[in-house]
Amino acid sequence: MKKSKQALGITLAALIISFSACSYTEYEVLANKNFRLGENFYKLGQYKESIYYYKNALNITTKNKNPTHKSVGVLKNKVGIGYDHQQNYFKAIEYFQSALKNYELNFGSEAPDTNTVRSNLATAYFKSGQYKEAILYFEHVLNVRISGEKSNHIKIAEIYNLIGFSYFKLEVWEKAGNFFDKALTIALKEIGKDHETTKVYRSNLANAKSKMGR
């Protein structure tokens, strides 16, 4: 009888484990379905719908995995991007901040993917008019980019320009001019004086110099 009860206990434990594994797989499949729907709506430019399905996937994943799991960070970044496209920058910032913490934990602070999320956060701050915060994150993005790319890469120029524009909005003309000058120097070398981007950087520098009385 004792052996029979032990056998029954082992069988029930096996069934519970089997059921849990099956349930976990079902949740994973459901999360993936919601994620794919989110991706499809995002590609169609239907950001409200994409956010809805990304959030569904996020909720399912958070409930069934460790909240610090890397997939949670990926989904939070996706939701943030959706809000960014809706120009709901404060919600975007909320999700990008949370995603960045997750990426730093799972991939490290200097990893390229982490820096992409950091750039998303910096850009959302910039678009929302929070220029001091934008500068803080853009400078971190810049430092990581410079260590991983050529210092004269055109993407580096883009960051210089964004930092310069942030300082310009804060009416810190000299710093704005310095960053615009760095952006222009790279653009002249990499894409030429007649490129539209180069013209924008040149105009930005001229505006900063004008504010400084030069």
- pTM recorded for the entire structure: 0.84
pLDDT, residue 22, reads 42
Residues of the chain with CATH 1.20.58: 149-214
pLDDT digit string (tens) for 27-50?
888 999 999 999 999 999 999 999
Alpha-carbon separation of residue 194 from 16, 32, 155, 189, 191 (angstroms): 69, 46, 18, 11, 8
Residues 120 and 80 sit within 8 Å (Cβ to Cβ): yes
User: What is the 3-class SS of 102-114, one letter each residue?
Assistant: HHHHHHCCCCHHH
Look up tokens 């400078």; give the residue: 139
Tell me how far apart the alpha carbons of residues 22 and 61 are, in angstroms, rounded to a whole number. Answer: 15
Q: 47 in helix, strand or coil?
A: helix
Cβ contacts of 9 within 8 Å, gap of 6 or more: none
Residues of the chain with CATH 1.25.40.10: 8-133
pLDDT, residue 13, reads 38
Regions of the chain where pLDDT drops below 70:
1-24, 149-150
What CATH superfamily classification does 8-133 receive?
Tetratricopeptide repeat domain (1.25.40.10)
pLDDT, residue 3, reads 46
pLDDT, residue 47, reads 97
Residues 73 and 103 sit within 8 Å (Cβ to Cβ): yes
CATH architecture of 149-214: Up-down Bundle (1.20)
pLDDT digit string (tens) for 131-167?
999 999 999 999 999 887 667 789 999 999 999 999 9
pLDDT, residue 6, reads 42
Residue 172, amino acid:
V
Tokens representing residue 190 in the block: 């990499």
pLDDT, residue 133, reads 98
Taking the CA atoms of 190, 192, 193 and 194 in sequence, report the sign of the dihedral they define.
Answer: negative
